[in-house]
Amino acid sequence: MDKFEPTKAFKKRNTICVQGELMDLSQPKVMGILNITPDSFFDGGKYQHRDAILKRCDQILDEGGDMIDIGAYSSRPGAVHVAEQEEGSRLIEVLSWIREIYPRVILSVDTFRASVAEKCVREFSVDIINDISGGVMDKLMFETISRLKVPYIMMHMKGIPQNMQMNPVYENLIKEISLFFSNQLDRLTALGVSDVILDPGFGFGKTIDHNYQLMNGMEQFDLFKLPVLVGVSRKSMIYKLLDIESAAALNGTTVLNTIALTKGANILRVHDVKEAVECVKLVSQLQKTE
C-alpha cells in the first residue's frame, strides 16, 4: 500500500460557504434525509408523491434540521442500479416542488454523477453535493465541483453499492481510508476546491466490526483539519448487532450519534431529526463545561 502522508494543502476549516454566506460547523448541524427512491433500506417508497415529499420537508425543518439531503439513487447494499436519466428525472421533479415552497432552504443532493450534480446546481440552486463514491464512480465529478463552487461531501466506499458488502477486507482500516482521503484531497486542491466535508462511509464496504473500529478511531481524521459528516442512522451496524429491525433502531442511532459528536462529528445525517437535534444540544452543553 502507498505511504500515507496527511495533506498539507488544507488548513483548519470550521466553516463552509453556503448561499454566499459562511456556515459555522463548530456547532454541529443536522442533515435530514429525504429518500425519493422506491427501495431505500429504511423508508424506501415512502416519499414518492408531492404531498408526502413536502410534508417530509416540513417535518425536517420544523424539528430543527439545518439542511435536507435528497437521494434518488438507492445505495443500500445490493441495490438495483438506476440509470442516469431516471435519477435525474426523479430529482428534477422533486427539486422543482421544494424550491417552489422553500426557495432558501439548504439542499444537498446525494449523487455520484457529475452531470446530475451540475443540473441540480445550475437549475435548482442546490447548495451541496454529497458523493458516496468520493469522485471514483464519475471521473468528471471533481472538475464539475470546481466549476460549480459548492461544498462537496466526499465519502469513502470500498467497491460500489452492488458489491460493497461482499466480504470487504482491509489491512488497516483507518490508514486505508485516510490514504484515500489524502489522495482525493490532493486532486481537489489542485482544482481549487476548498469546501470539502469528509464522510468515512459507515456501512459502505465495511463489516459490522469495521464500522465500530471506524467509530472508535474517528479522531484520527482530525489531521485533515476538515469538517466530518457521520451517517449511521438506522443502519445494519445497529440493527443487525442488536438483532432488531431498522424500524426499532432509533435508540441505537442516538447512542452512536452521541459518540460521533464526542469524537468530532460536525454534521449528523439522519432520518430522525428531532432526536439528533436534541443530541447535539446535550453534547454541546456537556462540552461547554470541559
Q: Catalytic positions, please?
A: 235, 269
Q: Are 238 and 25 in contact (CB under 8 A)?
A: no
Among all chains, which residue has been given the C-alpha cell 446530475?
116
Give the gyration radius of the chain's Cα atoms. 18
198, β-bridge pairs: 154, 228
- Give the C-alpha separation, 110 to 69, whole Å: 7
C-alpha 30/C-alpha 24 separation (Å) is: 12
CB atoms within 10 A of CB 190: 11
Cβ atoms of 135 and 187 within 8 Å: the answer is yes
First vs last C-alpha separation in the chain: 39
What percentage of the chain's residues is helix, strand, coil (to nearest 5)? 40, 15, 45
Tell the burial category of 267 from Cβ atoms under 10 Å away from its Cβ (0-12, 13-18, 19+): buried
Q: 89 by DSSP, 3-state: which?
A: helix
Q: Which residues contact 179 (CB under 8 A, 6 or more apart)?
A: 1, 2, 4
